[in-house]
Structure 1
């Protein structure tokens, strides 16, 4: 059984909290194919990882901790990107207004490859904390595309094969991206946002992703959740109660509070 958790909002949709409770409920392994965090806004999380010579974010850490066997965050999150804010109107290397890429980690712990933005002022703690001596340095969009073709695409393909071989998997997307793995067809999908979730059949959701990817909207290479949902009617709508910080940190408490949503999701997945 493969379940996808996507978010209707770019930030703070509640995907990870929903996913950790779902992992507890189903005994599945959680996956976060792509993730990122910010050197400035997520500095505590950044330091926790980099001080140990690693790079991962709190979402992947929470999913890994909730999963059976407690895998490394890097094992369930093969691509992690570290951003930093850019003051003023300048755009970063990949055209993200107000921020730029510093470093990408690609691959699992002990087998990582690194990609460094040669046009950025990479903080000394990044260069000192991470093993970047053999990193691929990129100074243009075309060079970054080459690195992603050579490193990111194979890493994502390998993760897709692992997920396909799993009996049970919960896959969490990132930002408001509709699906984090190309060609991934889950059994059911939960689209999470503050106060509610909407449940969709996996096959129809995957088909809608294909239709949305063929549109000319904004020239996107990834389908955004709102564009996909414009093409679908949900199978169920379930209200989500507000949770305290203590409850959000406890997957069993989340599973209890979100039980009606999980029941609706699993009913669609098992049809």
Structure 2
């Protein structure tokens, strides 16, 4: 049973809390094919990772901890991007106003590779903690696109194939993107936001993603959740209770609190 979790809010939709509890409730391995965090806004998480010469975020760490067995965050999150605020400098290499990507960590299944942005000044703690001297360096978007096709895409496709082959997998998207990869397979989909979860048949939701991907608004690569939801009706809507910080950090407590939503999700997946 492959279950996809997406969020209709760009920030703090509750995807990872929902996904961690679902992993524990279903004894499923969690996956976060793409993720990122910010050197400034997520500095504590950044420092914990680079203290060991690694780069991952709290979302992948929580999913790995909630999954059965011993799972490293890099195993379930092949591509992680570190961002840096650059106020007043306009759009960066990736066209994001006010922030630039510093580096990417890509787990190939056999090795860890890094990509650094040579158009920004890398913070000293980043260059001191990560092996960026030997990293792939990019200075233009065309060069970065070529490298992502050679390095990032195969790494992501490998993890998507692994998740698809599993009997039980929970795949979490990022930001308000409807699906983290076009090859994803899902038996049911949960779209999470504060206070509620909308449950969708997997085939219908993914077909709606295909339709949305051909729109002039979004192009071919990423579909926003709100655009997809204009094209498909939920099979159910379930209210989500508010959780304390301690409950949000405990997958067993989440599984208990969100049990009605998980039950409805798995019922739709089995249909």
TM-score after normalising by structure 2: 0.98
Match of 1:19 in 2: 19
**Equivalents in 1 of 2:126, 2:209: separation in Å?**
36
Match of 1:262 in 2: 262
Offset at residue 221 of structure 1 (A): 2.8
Q: Which runs of 5+ in 2 are unaligned?
A: none
Asked whether the 8 Å contact 1:114–1:132 carries over to 2, the reply is: yes
Match of 2:130 in 1: 130
Higher mean C-alpha deviation, range 69-78 or range 105-114: 105-114
Q: Which runs of 5+ in 1 are unaligned?
A: none
Asked whether the 8 Å contact 2:118–2:137 carries over to 1, the reply is: yes
Say whether 1:73 aligns with 2:73.
yes
Offset at residue 116 of structure 1 (A): 0.3
**Equivalents in 1 of 2:11, 2:133: separation in Å?**
33
Offset at residue 113 of structure 1 (A): 1.0
Q: Hey, which bits of structure 1, 4+ residues long, moved more than 6 A?
A: none
Offset at residue 157 of structure 1 (A): 1.1
Q: What's the secondary structure of 2:92's corresponding residue?
A: coil
Aligned length: 271
TM-score after normalising by structure 1: 0.98
Offset at residue 109 of structure 1 (A): 7.7
The superposition leaves residues 145-189 of structure 1 with CA deviations (integer Å, 9 ceiling, x where unpaired) of 011011001101111111122110000000000000222120000
Q: CA RMSD in A?
A: 1.1
Asked whether the 8 Å contact 2:213–2:219 carries over to 1, the reply is: no
Q: What's the secondary structure of 2:253's corresponding residue?
A: helix
The superposition leaves residues 81-133 of structure 1 with CA deviations (integer Å, 9 ceiling, x where unpaired) of 00010111511110001111000001158611111000011011111101123
**Equivalents in 1 of 2:110, 2:46: separation in Å?**
18
Asked whether the 8 Å contact 1:8–1:176 carries over to 2, the reply is: yes
Asked whether the 8 Å contact 1:75–1:108 carries over to 2, the reply is: no
Q: What's the secondary structure of 1:35's corresponding residue?
A: strand
